[in-house]
Structure formats: structure tokens, C-alpha cells
Structure 1
Amino acid sequence: MAIIICKNCGNEFEGNYCNNCGQKSKTARLDWHYLNDEAKYTFLHLNGGLLFTIAQLFKRPGHAIREFVDGKRVNYYKPVLLLFVLAGFYGLLMHNIDFRKTQEVMNATSVMNEQQIAINELMFKGMEWWISHYSLMEILLLPIYSGITWLAFRGWGYNYVEHIILNVFSASQRLLITIAFFPLTWFYQGTMTGVILANLVAVVIFCVGIWTMIQFFKGKELGMFILRYLLFLFLCITAIVLVIVPGAIYFFATHKELFRH
């Protein structure tokens, strides 16, 4: 058998694959046939993995996530990759939303003095930053959020890493819901309908989240699940308070002029 020099690493080998880096021995010149094969692979990969996973996250979310955690993974898109894809897409969509319009509507429907308007301006900037960076925050908060679900549902058969996967899928689910409502969000931006719609999206996300957790922990007594979920909410609120209180103290200390009568 002829000696082949690997085009990737320069290693000399025999056979169909380089024993050093794993590249194929035969690499055809890039042409239309190559692009056709790549397009077919990409479409089949998206259709067979991504679309299937998205459908499962809405048809039977908790069951699907539990099956993935338990080892039934061949048909599912990789959860971390899914989250990054959706986060990137969400970020692109948010560039088309003018948050200033929403603030103007809220200011117009409230009777406020200059001091209150200034405070509202700062609070809105914080909210605007959060919404603009929502996908990034979903990713950064995953370790903390997973720690909370692990503590709240401790002893129910899943370790911390498995809770990370649960929450990666859940974060993707929340992004999908937000993306699904985007056409309406864009159309009604800067109106009271848009403000109401934002609250509706939050309610939908909350309800779907509960449904997902109930399915994921299938077989557990409902009363015990409710107690565990209340503990989960308590831990979430505690974590939020621990983050907000120092921020509020800093805000009041650096903006004393806003609170002087």
C-alpha cells in the first residue's frame, strides 16, 4: 500500500485515515459537488436534530429533557449548542426593537414630576440593558440557576451536571418563546399593547416552565412537587435579593440628588 502524506498535519501513513489527526486520505478539490453534499448534510442535520428538539420542547418538554438526561440522545440537538444558536438569533432580533418608544409610552401614561422621571429613566436603562443582554444573562446565570434547582429538588435522582442540562434546555425553551412572540413584539413596540404583550410573554414562560418541571419529575407526588417548587421560588427570590440589595445601596449612594426634596 502506498505511503500517503497527510495534507492536514504532514504525517506519513497508510490507509483511509491519518493515524495522527484523523483526516481522510482522499480530499477532493472543492467544487459544486462538495457544496451540494455540505448543503444536504446541513439540512438533514438541522431537520433531524434542531427542528426535532425544538418540537419536543413544546410538545413534551419535561419528558424529552428527562429522556436526554437518562441517555436517549441520538435524535436530539446538542443542548449547549442549541442554547448558543438561539441566544445569537435572539440577539440579532433585539437590534430591531426601540426600547425608547416603550419608555415614552409608560411616561405618557403616568403623572410624574422631574425627580420621578429621572429615577424612572435610570430604572428603564437597567431594564433595557437586561432585555438587550437577556440571552447572555441566560448563559451566565446557568450555574447559579442550576445550583438552585439542584438544592430545591435534591434527592430526586439527578446530580448538579444533570440539572445544568435541564436548565440549558429550559433556557432554550424561554428563548424560543420570546422569539416566537417577536413579530408581535416588534409590531406593537412603543404602545400599551406592547407593554401588555411583554407581561403576557412572561406569564407564558412561567407557566410553560412549571409544566416542564412537572413532566421532568414525573412520578413524584404532586403535593411534594408543589412544596419543592415553592422552595425553588424562595431560593430564586433570595438570590435576586442578594444581587439587587447591594446594587440598590450603590445606586442610592451615587444618586443622592434624585431623592432630595
Structure 2
Amino acid sequence: MTSIDLNADLGEGFGRWSLTDDEGLLSVVTSANVACGFHAGDPATMRRVCALAAERGVRIGAQVSYRDLAGFGRRAMDVPADELTAEVAYQIGALDVFARAAGTRVSYVKPHGALYNRVVRDEEQAAAVVAGVRLADASLPVLGLPGSRLLDLAALAGLPAVPEAFADRAYTDQGTLVPRDQDGAVVTDAETVVARSLGLARDGEVASRSGARVAVRARSLCLHGDTPGAVELARRVRDRLRDAGVRVEAFV
């Protein structure tokens, strides 16, 4: 039977502001990418989400990013490699405190936003992220785009490299994500997202924005938690996968 992990970005609030329905999504996904305070999240939110994830048996991932609260981590930044390494390790360590307090641990690492896109091609920044992960815990898997420099360097460093796909993001013909500042970068039609999820999980391919079929072999499938109606959409995706004989389970 084909199987795939279902992940979502969680804990993306700060102080009195809340962006994601963490409790609702944690009843559906198998892995939670938890904001570590640099693009969103604060200590109280991180602690709460880790406790909820532990209760539901959901794997906790550190979603590391550039230090950019104002821009939600989606603005391009130039951070020196040694500084980025330290900041990645710092974010992982901060989240792991709350994960361990809840009786579990950080199980993987996934970059967020501008950092995620940067490490697809940028050798130096990708190497800095890998070094930060190794500094925090040299056994942690790294989640990223198939064919990215991040996953290549993670594998070379002995870290488990886990490719992921996006059901609600548009792809280029080259298998990269269409930048968010371009029209159609985010797929909002629920039935389209559900159909794309099945194609990615079962067939390992997706239609690019131009209509070309693009191979995307992934072990994990991401649904963005800040999408309107994200919880219901995640349930529909999980139900469709189950009905098609695809087992939804964590990759770790």
C-alpha cells in the first residue's frame, strides 16, 4: 500500500494574534511544522502546540526561518552563514525544550518561507542550515523540496533527507514552487487541491502552472495552515487519500 505523511505549518501566531487552527489541524495531520519564534510563534504558543501534538501522537518538526517577524519570514534576506547556522540551531533547541516537556521531542526540521526557497539553489545558505541542524542534533531528518541543494547537502552530511510536495502551491515546469508574488502561486480551489494531493501521493506527479506533468516524488505532503478553511480541506485530503488506498502516516 502506498503511504504518505501529511504535514501542516502550525503555531503561526504571536501574542494575542492567532493565524492557524492548531487544535483542528492536529486532529488531521501526522506531522506539525511548528514556528519557532523567528517568523511567528512565541514561547507560550510553542509550548501549547507541542503539548497538543504530543497528546495526539503527531510528530513535531522545527520550522526554522530567517529572523523576520514583520514579514512572516517571507522576505528575502542576506544572513551570514555562521549567523544562520547559529540561528537554526537556536530555533531547534528552543522548540525541543517544549517538546520534551510534553514527553516527546523535535523529530525533524523544515525551513520556512524565504529560507525554504533560498536553499533550493543557494549552496552557502543550504550548507548553513545543514550545519545548524547538525549542531542541534545530528540525527534529525530535514524536510525540503526534491532536488534541492538543501536535501543534497543534508544527505551528504548523514542527515535523513525527506522530499516533500505541496498540494496547494503552483509548480514551475522545473519542479520548483511558483513565487508567491506571482499570480496563481497559491491553489485555492478545494477540489483541485484534493485532486492534486491524490496525484502526488499515488502517482508522484503534478500539473505545473503551464499544464505540463512534473514528476514530484515525495514522502510528505504539505497543506498550509494559514489557508482559509485549512482544517476542512485537510480532512477532505486525508479522506480522499484513504479512500484511494493511500495510508497516511508520519515519515518518522
TM-score, reference length from structure 2: 0.23
Structure with more of its chain in helix, by fraction: 1
TM-score, reference length from structure 1: 0.22
The structure that has the greater radius of gyration is 1
Structure with more of its chain in strand, by fraction: 2
